Structure formats: C-alpha cells, structure tokens
Amino acid sequence: MAAGRDRVAGKIALVTGAASGIGRAIARTFAEQGATVMVADIQETAALAVVAEIAEFGGNAEVVPLDVTDEGQWAAAVDGVLERHGRLDVLVNNAGVGSRNDGTIEDVTLDGWRAVMGVNAEGVMLGCKNGVRAMKETGGGSIVNMSSIAGIVGAPQLSAYCASKGAVRMLTKSVALHCARKGYGIRCNSVHPSYTDTPMVDRMINSRSDPARMRAALESASPFGRMGAPDDIAGAVLYLASDDSSFVTGTELVVDGGVTAM
C-alpha cells in the first residue's frame, strides 16, 4: 500500500484481531494512510509489536486490550477511545477463529460450535453494538465486518465457521439498514476473503498429514493460482473505511481471486 495518500487522514480507527494476519495488515495500512489506529487484540504482546512497527514509519497507534467475546471489555475499550480521542470514526470487526473446533454437522460438538460462534458472530455483534453507540453521537462513521466466502458458499467440513460467517453477512445488512433509517450517518459493510496467507491458515495447513499438498490445493483453488495476501484484504477494507465509499452500505465486498466466479 502506497504511503502518503491520506485516504483516512485524521480518522480514529479501531481494528480487532490486529496483532497478526489480516488485522495487522489493516492496522498498518490505516496508519500509512493517516489514521490513528487502535490495535485491539487479546494478545497484548503481539499488539505492542504492531504498534512499534507502525511507529517506525511515523504512524500513530495504540494498544487496546480486548477479548471480543466479553461485553464489558467492549464497553471499556470503546469508552476509552472516546475519552482519549473524542470519537470513533472506523471500526473493523476482524477478530476471528478458524476450524480448530469445527467439523461437519455430524462431527461438530456443541462446545466447538459455541467457541466459533462466540468469536466470529457474537464478537461482531458486540462490536457493532458498541460502534453504533459511539458513532451516532459524533455524526457517523464506517463499520467493516470481516466475513468470508464461507458466508456465501458452503463448505461441508466447516459447519460452524460457515454459519458464523453467514451470520456476519446478514447482521451487516441489518445494521446498515437500521443506521440508514435512523439517520445516524453510519455505514456498515462486510468483506469476504477466500483463503489468505496468514498465521491462522498456516496453522490449519500444518495440522494436515501432507501440508505441502494442502497448501498447493488452497493456491490452486483461485484462478490466480495463489492465496490472497493480507494486503489484498487490507486494501478492500481501506476503501470501505474511507470517504471514497460514502454511498456504500449493506454490501458484501468479495476479495477471493475469482473463486466464487467459477
């Protein structure tokens, strides 16, 4: 991402799951483009490292400790941003978990289902609720929810993950319509990546009996012949966070290298 274009200059942004992977790329991109970024994550040491990276190129960032499944922590995190900065302009609900607790509908356990839904769906709901609470008092903002192509097309071995990402997709539309009809000036959109080269996907690949074969399969799934890069997704989120998308709400932006076009 080219620095100095200032597409989100002066905005206050909070990004969850920002200590690694896609969230880290989003935080760095926002800072490069002029935002002050709240690096929100349950992994505080890793979040501090991201803040240090951003400081190296002159960006502004702060750590916000946050377990997205905890309603009290959400309220405290957003209240803290308002106390320090007076507003919240952008919220990216990016934190998520993968397939470790998942399986087909015959294999998934109730505890596994709840673990996935707790982060991927309930965490996004709590983020939207607190984001709307903050933004409606200061004239609006942009909420971006990280879904997946698994929220659009099914995967038989990912029953909980598909359900959670489908929930994010439809929650996004509900939030968008509510805020528009209330005149809050808040936009809400979802982003739908395919497999992206992140530590979470690396863990999934390395858990298989033949990691090299698994990686090759994920790469060949896209007509481009590769997985997405975190910066590919960050660029899409930047568009939705910026004023370039001022008439865009309730939509789903698919970033999948053409997987769902086939």
Residues that are catalytic? 161
Radius of gyration of the chain (CA): 17
Q: Specify the DSSP class assigned to residue 242.
A: S
Task: Please give the span between the terminal C-alpha atoms of the chain, in angstroms, as a whole number.
Answer: 28
DSSP string, 160-189: HHHHHHHHHHHHHHHHHHHHHHHT--EEEE
Mapping DSSP to helix (H, G, I), strand (E, B) and coil, where does residue 23 land? helix
Q: 163 with 207: CB under 8 angstroms?
A: no
The number of angstroms, rounded, from the C-alpha of 50 to the middle of its chain's C-alpha atoms is 16
